[in-house]
Amino acid sequence: MELFQKAKTIRLRSYRDKYLTAEDDEENVIQDRDGSTKNSIWTVEFVPGRDVVRFISCYGKYLTASNMPLVPRMPGRKVIQTLPNCRDPRIDWEPIRDGFQVKLKTLWGNFLRPNGGVPPWRNCITHDIPHFSTTSNKILWDVEVVETRPIPAALKNHKRTHSDFTFDRSRSRSAASSSFMSHQPNVMN
C-alpha cells in the first residue's frame, strides 16, 4: 500500500515497458508503449478500513476484473472499465509489494497481467494466476507517480526514509552498471 499512499494519479508500467491504458471505447483496457497520453493515467482511490485500492480511468470508470474469458476454454479473464459501483468487489485490487514493484491481486486470488504474442493476446490485459515460475515476474508492475496527494500539515516534518522514494527500473540498471565500472581496478599492461 505504501507505493500508493502519496499518489493521487499514477501510471502502471509492465515488464514489457508498456503502460496500462484505457481504450477510447471506454470499455476495454490494453497496454501501450506511449505513457504520455491521458488514457495511461489512473486515479488512485483508497477503500477505508481495507488494504485495497481502486483505479479510475480518465473516463471516470473503474479498472475491473471481469468474469469474461479472453479466449473460451483458456485461462485469463478480461480486465475492463466499468461504471462506478462501490459495492462491486471486482473493482478492488490488493497491492502486494515486491521490492520496488507491485503485484495487483483480485479478491479471487488472480493477478493483473499484461499479455503478449499473437492476437488475441497481443497487448491485452487479463487477470489470472501464473502457473509457471517463468511467468511469475510478468505480473509485476512499476508504479510511476504522476501527481501526489497534498501532504497534511502534521506530516510535513516527517523525516524521509528509503521507502519514501520511487524507483525507476531503467535508471537503476544504468546507474548500477556505471557504478560497477567505476569500481573496477584500472589495470595497465
Q: Where are the domains of the chain?
A: 7-182
In this prediction, residues 155-163 reach a mean pLDDT of 57
Amino acid at 73: R
Give me 165's grid cell: 522514494
Q: What is the mean pLDDT of residues 141-167?
A: 71
What is residue 98's three-state secondary structure? Answer: strand
More confident residue, 119 or 18: 18
> Region 165-185: what's the mean pLDDT?
47
CA–CA distances in Å: residue 169 to residues 17, 61, 96, 138, 140:
10, 29, 18, 14, 12
Residue 43, pLDDT score: 98
Contact 129, 106 (CB under 8 A): no
Q: Residue 78: helix, strand or coil by DSSP?
A: strand
Structure confidence at residue 19 (pLDDT)? 98
3-state class (DSSP) for residue 137:
helix
Q: Cα–Cα distance between 132 and 18 in angstroms, integer?
A: 22
CA dihedral 43, 49, 51, 53 (to 10 degrees): -20
Joined grid coordinates for residue 115: 499479455
Taking Cα atoms as reference points, which of 37, 66, 42 lies closest to residue 53?
42
When pLDDT is averaged across residues 103-131 and rounded to a whole number, the result is 91
C-alpha closest to that of 92 among 123, 120, 65:
65
DSSP track, 15-59: TTS-EEEE-TTSSBEEEES-TTSGGG-EEEEE-TTSS-EEEE-TT
pLDDT of residue 162: 54
pTM > 0.75: yes or no: yes
Pick the closest to residue 9 from 47, 58, 50, 51 (CA basis): 58
pLDDT band of residue 113 (cuts 50, 70, 90) is very high
Question: Percent of the chain beyond pLDDT 70?
Answer: 78
More confident residue, 51 or 179: 51
Query: Which pLDDT value is given to residue 120?
Result: 84
CA distance 61 to 42: 10
d(CA 189, CA 187): 7
Other CB atoms within a 10 A radius of the CB of residue 46 amount to 14
Does 7-182 carry CATH code 2.80.10.50?
yes
